[in-house]
Structure 1
Amino acid sequence: MLEHLTIGELVERVLAELKRLAYAQNTQLAYRRFYNQVLRYAKSQGVEHYSEAFGRKFFEATYGCQWTELPQPIPKKFRPPVRFLASLTDVQLHGTVVRRRPKNRPYEAPPAFRTALDAFTVECQRRGYSSYGQRTRMGRIRLFLAFLAAEDITPDTLTARHVSRYVATLMNYHPKTVLAILTNLRTFLRFLHDAGFHAQDLSSAIPRVRAGRYERLPSVWPADSVQRLLNAVDRGNPTGKRDYAILLLAARLGMRVGDIKALTLSALHWEAKTIVLVQQKTGRAIEYPLLDDVGWAIIDYLKHGRPATASPVLFVRHHAPFEPFGPHANLHHIITRYARRAGISVPTAHHGMHALRHTLASALLERDTPLPVIAEILGHLSTQSTQVYLAVDRAGLERCALDPEEVFAYGDE
């Protein structure tokens, strides 16, 4: 029983317990943000010690209803606050946070393939695959291994027939998904043979799948919508200063989200007016021009918006602890927040930060910028990746259009 603790002390005890239990960093931050609201409300009410009655009072004042009257199952938007308040009671009564659902266990490879998978992980690292690329590849290989484990198949008993049976389970997947899975599977099977885990190279048992490289057009916004989005940012507060600089890097320079998140203070070369970094996706160094509007936005953020933190990363969260964005954060909330504020209505598929990168490429094409130059700006390894934007260059397509009458007339000659 820890009823003698003040609310502030109880909150710190809960947060320490979450850390001990290895809760995800993003989850710990969500708890801390919520408890800051609780502490402010307690101070305004002159309450020093926590009780369930106080928790219910806070919930009603914040959300306009009693949590005991919520329908079952509890609506999604109310689940986090109910859970956060319950954690305060848990620690107060039991000294620990009681899990309401089992924690996801770390992945355990089938024993027969554990050594091979560990070796393949090392090989992927040796080849310089990005952390995202490694995670994606491993996820696909694990599905294959789960299928083999369910059939009691070991590396010694694995045959081309087993591989074919697994491939048959993919028949309802999207062609591009099948292509990606089979490509990774082919690499894994080839590795098993090369590393001595299997006597035969079964990669040849993987069928070749043809899928259009670009079946979906890039998400492109009208130019005026991008400017409206930027104008909707409130640059009078620290978060707005940060978000404005982030959006400018995507809209003006076409930087990927991963590179924006990983951008360090040392990558900013003010005298040369450049930004130099190693791309997270390709591992290749790239140099961006530090445009005036981008540079001034970053300066404004550094001088008047960025919290005091020892982190070398430029953009950090604005809730304590002031740390970089999580590895899986896609910053989707930033662009959707200001799109709504600007009254911009775009299809759901066009809402992501990557849409600003696509829009920049489209705008460059409209100005007759050569494809190699656009590829260099976007950090593409090949102009083949850049050619997809030709499909959204309407003016260029119109210039390529043929007049049917002229074609027929030429055919009659």
Structure 2
Amino acid sequence: MFRVRTRRRPWALALAATAIIGATTALAVPVHPEPAQAAIGGITWQDEFNAPAGTPVDQSKWRFDIGGGGWGNNERQYYTNSTSNAVHDGQGNLVITARRENPANYQCHYGRCEYTSARLLTAATFTQAYGRFEARIKIPRGQGIWPAFWMLGNDMGSVGWPNAGEIDIMENIGREPNTVYGTIHGPGYSGGGGITGSRTIGQPLADAFHTYRVDWEPNSIVWYLDGVEYHRVDPGRLGGNRWVFDHPFFMLLNVAVGGNWPGYPDASTQFPQQMLVDYVRVSGYTSGGNPPGTTAIRGALSGRCIDIPSANPVDGAKLQIWDCNGTAAQAWTFASDGTIRAMGKCMDPAWAGTANGTEVNLVTCNGNPAQRFTLNAAGDLVNLSANRCVDVRDRNTGNGGKLQLWDCTGDANQKWSRA
């Protein structure tokens, strides 16, 4: 089923005879000069493309999307599985070639396709949640040319797009030869509302090989061009919408020709156009407990950790204690502004309350001084505005005990430590 969206660029996926579509829009995003590094383990999957010249794609690693239905974007290419469009070059590269041709057997929804190309995917061969996904690519060039290295959730066939999620590691459109885009799509932030960052360099990306990568860990995705971060997202960027990047994804490589976002080839566009892929490598994510820069907060009386119920970071979620489990729902960051954050939101006294019994909830970080806390040397977790301690209601030591503010008494029920 096709879904029509507006603005930047929709995508589509032929999966079990169903086309799935996505889109991007550019947002101004600051560069983080000193980013926290993801906990990256060893290589879990790779293709170095070192086969002899003329060797077809390794179908134990990649399969093909085939067809010319416009892919939801009014694209002009027909994707084939021919070595004319995807093949090893014998020099350590996969070559995806977009050609100008209009053979009668390549029928598109609007008539005959004007071009052929290839789209490779690992949906049937490899999926993974979290880790580093990287490719070294020399992209094609020209008006209307649209190369991409991207990922989709492995539950696409059951929940559909955008609920399965989409991570665009690299996109370029020919009319912006110096710019790479990185984007996520999910429920409530898809199509024209995709969360996008970009980086523009001083020369066309097609002039040389570049490395395009994301480091993906629970509640964080960071984009890099040649090892330099240019974009990152976390659940706090989604305006309360659901973060769906918590399950395995598969990879795709393709070169589209034409479409709503890049526009169409013109007299300046030369064919054939080739995308050379030196390698694709995937590394695992090493949890090692809490992600880097975060900590669990363990109660002295219960031995349990402060937790977001059901790992669902909705505004007003009532914080609780739960068995310490190393999940993102217990991975707290003591930020420099005095807030304590997890899953992109802040620990918060309900309605900025200061009285005994005020619930301690999770709320979007808003700069209100009521959201400032400190964990002092005595183990008191103190809300600075109220000058009261975080306390487990009714001295409950079981799973699900709810948090509140209360006069600091020195009781073990109010003592906490970073775990």
TM-score (norm 2): 0.21
Which protein is bigger by CA-based radius of gyration?
A: 1
Q: Greater helix share, 1 or 2?
A: 1
Q: Greater strand share, 1 or 2?
A: 2
